[in-house]
């Protein structure tokens, strides 16, 4: 007789003995019996549950369980942030959270003592039931005190949106909380309410946020989707948008105090998606102006995931593609030299501009410089102009624009990838690629067929966003072996020719 389950992951005790502590874990109950098995959930490590013993950490033999039935993960944005724990249903027969069915391919935020049920067998047939109880450490709390919502003056309901007390982010911009759409809940009473996010910003009196105005008109799978905005009498702006639960690209690359590189293949797919988003934005005369690792969100913390551009707080909606911008904004580490940061300004003072740039300004190619910095970091783990880390050093190095491809980190990177980075980090704006030219660069063009198929297979699945112009009408045909996902995104670094 086959065992009911097996586990391919270290237990919580194993992790603690190794000197680390898992912030949360799953307690496994199979066939009505407590197995005393705990599965740790740690930062950016997916825990897959299903019948596939090669891919899943918890392997279940019940035939009603899918090959990969559901996935769990944890996201830390930084050491000071509250960890977020998520579950995603991938099954044919359904996953239940506290008795309510989860929508397939949708992600839900977990809380302490949540019960995840993988098979809804009857009470008389408990052998079919697999229950996972989610347990979070006592010192970690992922909810905001309900009273604090009232103290902040936030509304609990806005039209059909119900704002919960669960906070998933905060900062100088404001707060991000979980919200539900009551209209969807009423239409699908058997399903667990889908999670959305609401970003709440404090505005100056009589001023509508341009970020909301821009995002409301955008519709692209690689740009954060906004559904509704509302400004209350206390000048709080509520932006109701998709919840992107995989964390940001910075936290995905962060290991301790350092950033690590990723494989060239994985980097290529991310760059391809960013270029799709930038091409869409620039065609509508919108410039992001603050493109960086922190503003690139992942749907899941794994290779071959969909990425989403977020934080359009300083984006610019131009009157035409010939209009120039003159405001010094952005993050110096990612900013193109023509934006005009000066190396001799004192920290925290208002930004100043070099006289030679005063009238010339800059255009949408500033976003492509930022992409060059991001690509450099993904391929090597090194910021190209970081120097000693001071703002003065970064600005001075960026103005010179000298790249060092002799570093050992570049040894396993293809010449085409180096050429792409070099063509984006051109101090001469005329020589720098724009978004359309970036999509035609040899690094992209040589792998375009694979990239397009992956984009439709993995990125646009269940997504009705705009189609790529370069895709042929027969993209739905069965993928050839050469572009099987497991082969296209290898675990080990692979040099692309």
Does residue 188 have an active-site annotation?
no
Integer Cα distance of 410 and 339 in angstroms: 28
Which element (helix H / strand E) includes 5? strand 5-7
Q: Which two tokens stand for residue 339?
A: 């934006």
Integer Cα distance of 55 and 263 in angstroms: 20
Integer Cα distance of 114 and 253 in angstroms: 29
The predicted model scores a pTM of 0.84
Integer Cα distance of 258 and 254 in angstroms: 6
pLDDT of residue 167: 86
The one catalytic residue in 89, 209, 248, 290 is 290
Q: Which domains does the chain have, with CATH numbers?
A: 5-136 (2.60.200.20), 146-242 (3.30.200.20), 249-488 (1.10.510.10)
pLDDT of residue 489: 34
Q: Helix count (H) and strand count (E) of the chain?
A: 13, 24
pLDDT of residue 460: 83
Q: Which residue is associated with the tokens 């009273």?
A: 147
Integer Cα distance of 121 and 111 in angstroms: 24
Identify the DSSP state of 89: E
Which backbone phi and psi does 146 adopt, to 5 degrees? -55, -35
pLDDT of residue 216: 92
Mean pLDDT split into 10-residue runs, the chain, 497 residues: 48 43 84 77 90 92 91 84 90 92 93 86 58 82 61 89 89 85 77 92 76 91 95 91 95 89 96 98 95 96 95 89 85 89 50 48 94 97 86 85 92 97 96 97 96 89 49 34 33 38
- Known binding-site positions for ATP: 168-176, 199
Burial of 496 (0-12, 13-18, 19+ CB in 10 A): middle
pLDDT of residue 70: 96
């Amino acid at each position: 007789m086959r065992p009911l389950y097996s586990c391919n992951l270290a237990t919580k005790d194993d992790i603690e003995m190794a000197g680390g502590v898992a912030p949360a874990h799953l307690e496994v109950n199979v066939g009505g019996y407590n197995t005393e098995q705990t599965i740790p959930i740690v930062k950016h490590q997916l825990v897959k549950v299903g019948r596939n013993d090669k891919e899943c950490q918890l392997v279940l033999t019940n035939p009603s369980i899918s090959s990969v039935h559901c996935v769990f993960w944890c996201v830390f944005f930084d050491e000071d942030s509250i960890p977020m724990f998520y579950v995603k249903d991938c099954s044919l027969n359904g996953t239940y959270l506290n008795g309510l069915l989860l929508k397939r391919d949708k992600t839900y935020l977990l809380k302490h003592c949540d019960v995840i049920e993988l098979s809804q067998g009857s009470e008389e047939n408990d052998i079919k039931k697999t229950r996972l109880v989610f347990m979070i450490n006592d010192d970690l709390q992922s909810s905001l005190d309900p009273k604090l919502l009232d103290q902040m003056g936030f509304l609990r309901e806005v039209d059909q949106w119900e704002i919960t007390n669960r906070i998933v982010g905060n900062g100088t911009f404001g707060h991000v909380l979980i919200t539900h759409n009551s209209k969807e809940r009423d239409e699908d009473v058997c399903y667990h309410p889908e999670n959305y996010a609401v970003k709440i910003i404090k505005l100056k009196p009589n001023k509508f946020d341009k970020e909301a105005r821009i995002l409301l008109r955008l519709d692209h799978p690689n740009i954060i989707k906004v559904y509704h905005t509302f400004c209350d009498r206390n000048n709080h702006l509520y932006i109701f948008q998709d919840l992107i639960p995989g964390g940001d690209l910075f936290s995905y690359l962060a290991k301790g105090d350092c950033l690590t590189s990723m494989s060239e293949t994985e980097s290529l797919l991310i760059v391809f998606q960013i270029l799709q988003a930038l091409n869409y934005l620039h065609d509508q005369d919108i410039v992001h102006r603050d493109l960086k690792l922190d503003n690139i969100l992942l749907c899941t913390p794994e290779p071959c995931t969909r990425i989403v551009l977020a934080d359009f707080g300083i984006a610019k909606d131009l009157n035409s593609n010939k209009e120039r911008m003159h405001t010094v904004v952005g993050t110096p580490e990612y900013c193109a030299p023509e934006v005009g940061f000066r190396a001799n300004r004192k920290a925290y003072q208002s930004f100043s501009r070099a006289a030679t740039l005063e009238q010339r300004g800059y255009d949408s190619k500033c976003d492509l410089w930022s992409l060059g910095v991001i690509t450099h970091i993904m391929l090597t783990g090194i910021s190209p102009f970081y120097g000693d880390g001071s703002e003065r050093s970064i600005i001075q190095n960026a103005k010179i624009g000298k790249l060092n491809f002799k570093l050992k980190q570049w040894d396993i990177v293809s010449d085409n990838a180096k050429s792409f980075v070099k063509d984006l980090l051109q101090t001469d704006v005329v020589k720098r690629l724009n978004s359309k030219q970036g999509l035609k660069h040899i690094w992209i063009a040589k792998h375009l067929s694979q990239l397009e198929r992956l984009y439709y297979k993995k990125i646009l699945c269940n997504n009705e966003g705009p189609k790529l112009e370069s895709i042929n009408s027969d993209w739905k045909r069965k993928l050839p072996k050469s572009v099987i996902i497991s082969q296209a995104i290898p675990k080990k670094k692979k040099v692309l020719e």
